[in-house]
Structure 1
């Protein structure tokens, strides 16, 4: 029986790391040792049970990157409760949909995020408790009051390797959120493969991930990998601006930095106007979207440390195809991570040859168990031991893999999936819009961002473009807004009325 919290948290006490620093927050002075985390997570487990939250209930976590996050995440696992970290950048209707879908019986929310989630709470029939980290809210339990219910720390409950441990939410091709459920052994699987055999994380490392706890890439960077060896993690609850991240690197002196291509490009632009930070970095990693070759080469030349670009997914929990130290070629996604098998197939499921494009399928022990209450989508994605990624790749004769795009119209912005359909729906809900279509367009750094083709109602006003940007941010998320708008009279469509996005990508509106 193997509860993941035993390996990642409590094991460190028996191995003499109780006083080792596990987490420290940027700018607050707050920190957490492995011993303090073991005690606090055990008390959180007791508090959940005292609150009437039972084993296999879901605990929704709308929590910023702060020390309460690991306390609650591992505490829930110790109690057999299933933590469900939620994207902290979404809009109220999306939070409502997720909370209704997962049927969480308790929600923990950082006070800074309370107002945006509040409209989803009043009519929710499942929530037994709302716990606020930070400033108190009427009718809610403060984090301190919640923790006081767990006066005795509980040990981790027994759990099977194959028992569901936690969920993450991933957007689908329609933009609807999908609950992805992972088992206890999946965390250890990513630590033993990518963490140990590619990243090479060590106990003396200081890790800083600009990618947040709430999605798979950040969760591995800031918890799974460092906690597998007893390393120290720097956490930051703010927005990762290029100047802010450079300052954190200077002051916190990490040895491992985890970013996404958009941020690396922005940081390069920033340090070109100032000076490169003097940091003891030994490795940087990137995922979430393909790293442009120019960004990688410029970063290595300016900072003196390579970026190991790789590809992962929420369904596989972390990176399964990657460049590695001593085996790096910018412009490629590298080779399969030891412990994973990949294959490329055509639309009929037959394997394609060298230098031919096919959909990437992956086999590894970290694969999710499926999607919550979405049987058809589960069957489409998880085929026996193989998981369909939805990515198009080609394999060179030397075994390296080259990213070619998506099998559908999805694309990533700052490492997070964006559905054109979801953005179109948000834009079309504005009174000044008749219809629209959204595609991915590359910016000056070669990174994909949304571009919208809009058929306005009447003549577009001077302020319509800015109004639409804010409208999208308010409805579906702060990173999904189109960076470019083009107002057109009509959109290219098929005879049945479907928008032909490929014509827009080719430049014909």
Structure 2
């Protein structure tokens, strides 16, 4: 805990005794444990603990009431906050928003779409610091920094942690720009899984942890997510990242959120299938389905476009906001 608090809490967030932390994730999640307990305790800061679910109305109320300076959220919640804010802006034009006291919003749980980052910064004037973490590493080990953000990326290594991109055999480190498996090393890592020998053997490789995430690194040392290893799609013999297709779809005005999974076509070949939740003011139709397919075709390689678009009311998610793709397959 001390290791993570020093390297992420203090080095990345610059947390001090003057900060007031509010976390959407509860203390029984590793993410919430750091956000609301050992980060603030490490410097004598305050934390807001509240039993209400982290719905946008509660977030607005608690941040405003307690003058929170750090709000730890997840991409799904940030998107819901923007939708709720749009409604508030229509009801009270020109009224100040409730997040005036925030200086940064760390985000984890799933990759933050670039368009969501830009919309949030434009409306609230506060940066979202996206970065992956895990129970195996206790907290976040890659992160964007305040004033040094590449939207769509997970940032750069947190001090005290090393990351590398490995091939599927775990023998060779891959060059810049090539998608592979993200391995992490740091002193906050787990030793083993309780009574799960095979899981331990596939995850703990000496001092390194195989995260199970697909990533690539750019020339500036920023790491970009391509999805979970078991979420990747092989279409026509070429790997396709669901996140790339999802980010493209989200740029369309009609799409509030979406998830892409693999599905079999008539020839029993895997093709992308998109599940889409529409923004207010848009209704499902064959014309919109065709428009969304064309939208992706015009922006990505042909084999990446979704062969099916299914409109649904909401996406299945975990308590921390991660999309449960297995329920859509």
2: CA distance, partners of 1:485 / 1:384: 34
Counterpart of 1:338 (choices 125, 140, 159) is 159
Partner of 2:187: 365
Partner of 2:28: 214
Partner of 1:389: 211
**Residue 286 in structure 1 maps to residue 107 in structure 2:** yes
1: CA distance, partners of 2:319 / 2:116: 26
**Residue 406 in structure 1 maps to residue 220 in structure 2:** no
Q: Secondary structure at the match of 2:154?
A: coil
CA 1:344–1:218: 2 relative to 1, 3 Å: same
Any unmatched runs of 5+ in structure 2? 90-96, 233-241, 265-312
Counterpart of 2:59 (choices 216, 220, 245) is 245
RMSD: 3.0
**Residue 310 in structure 1 maps to residue 131 in structure 2:** yes
Partner of 1:354: 176
1:332–1:400: 8 Å Cα contact kept in structure 2? yes
2: CA distance, partners of 1:447 / 1:192: 36
1: CA distance, partners of 2:196 / 2:325: 32
1:262–1:447: 8 Å Cα contact kept in structure 2? no
Q: Secondary structure at the match of 1:348?
A: coil
2: CA distance, partners of 1:480 / 1:225: 23
Q: Secondary structure at the match of 2:106?
A: strand
Q: Secondary structure at the match of 1:370?
A: coil
Q: Deviations over 1:92-135 (max 9, x none)?
A: xxxxxxxxxxxxxxxxxxxxxxxxxxxxxxxxxxxxxxxxxxxx
How many residue pairs get aligned? The number is 254
CA 1:483–1:335: 2 relative to 1, 3 Å: closer
2: CA distance, partners of 1:208 / 1:242: 13
2: CA distance, partners of 1:359 / 1:214: 28
Q: Secondary structure at the match of 1:312?
A: coil
CA 1:284–1:247: 2 relative to 1, 3 Å: same
Larger Rg: 1
CA 1:265–1:230: 2 relative to 1, 3 Å: same
Q: Secondary structure at the match of 2:150?
A: coil
1: CA distance, partners of 2:323 / 2:13: 33
1: CA distance, partners of 2:320 / 2:107: 21
Partner of 1:273: 87
Shift of 1:279: 2.5
2: CA distance, partners of 1:403 / 1:319: 14
Shift of 1:229: 0.2
TM-score relative to the length of structure 2: 0.70
Any unmatched runs of 5+ in structure 1? 1-186, 411-438, 454-468, 487-500, 502-509
CA 1:447–1:259: 2 relative to 1, 3 Å: farther
Shift of 1:407: 0.9
Shift of 1:188: 0.6
Partner of 2:237: none
1: CA distance, partners of 2:59 / 2:324: 24
1: CA distance, partners of 2:63 / 2:41: 20
Partner of 2:197: 375
Shift of 1:283: 1.2
Q: Deviations over 1:220-253 (max 9, x none)?
A: 1001110000100001212111222122222221
Partner of 1:491: none
Task: Name segments (4+ residues, structure 1) moved above 3 Å.
Answer: 439-443, 445-453, 476-486
1: CA distance, partners of 2:322 / 2:130: 23
**Residue 202 in structure 1 maps to residue 16 in structure 2:** yes
Q: Secondary structure at the match of 2:142?
A: strand
CA 1:484–1:451: 2 relative to 1, 3 Å: farther
Partner of 1:230: 44
Shift of 1:196: 0.9
Q: Deviations over 1:172-209 (max 9, x none)?
A: xxxxxxxxxxxxxxx01101110111011100111101
1:360–1:393: 8 Å Cα contact kept in structure 2? yes
Shift of 1:480: 8.4
